[in-house]
Amino acid sequence: SQKIEQNSEALNIQEGKTATLTCNYTNYSPAYLQWYRQDPGRGPVFLLLIRENEKEKRKERLKVTFDTTLKQSLFHITASQPADSATYLCALDGAASKLTFGTGTRLQVTL
C-alpha cells in the first residue's frame, strides 16, 4: 500500500542549529514533492516544491533534497529560530496528480 512517513515525534533543537526533517514514501512515483508549514489553528502554507529531476532546492534558510532512489526527501532549516517552530508537512503527487500529505513533524526550536 502507499505510504508517506514523517517522524511523528517532535523534533527539539536549539536555536542556531540546523533542523533536518525526513519524508519517506513507498509505492509512489512522484513527479514532484512539496513542503508546507502549519502553525496551530491555521491552514498549511506552501514553502518549497522540488521536481523528480532536481536533487536539491534552496530558498533562503531552507533546503530540500529529493532522492527518488531512496524514496526520501530531506528538509533542512539552517540557523533555526524560535519562529521556525511549527509542524512541517511533506506532500507528493499521487494518483491523478492529487496531492497526498504526510502526517507532519512538529519542530520546536528553543533558545
Are 99 and 4 in contact by the 8 Å Cβ rule? The answer is no
Contact between 93 and another protein per CB under 8 A? yes
| 17 Cβ contact list (under 8 Å, min separation 6) | 80
Q: Following DSSP, what letter does each residue of 53-85 receive, concatenated?
A: T-SEEEETTEEEEEETTTTEEEEEESS--GGG-
**The only residue of 75, 77, 88, 104 in contact with another protein, by rule CB under 8 A:** 104
**Least CB distance to another protein at residue 103 (A):** 4
CA distance 108 to 105: 10
Q: Determine if 97 is a binding residue for another protein (CB under 8 A).
A: yes
Q: In this complex, which beta carbon is closest to another protein, that of residue 2 or of residue 18?
A: 2
| Complex with another protein: residue 36 or 85, whichever CB lies closer | 36
Side chain identity at residue 94, one-letter code: G
Which residue of 7, 32, 65, 76 would you call a contact of another protein, by CB under 8 A?
32
53 in contact with another protein (CB under 8 A): no
Site residues for another protein per CB under 8 A:
31-32, 34, 41-46, 49, 51, 89, 93, 96-104
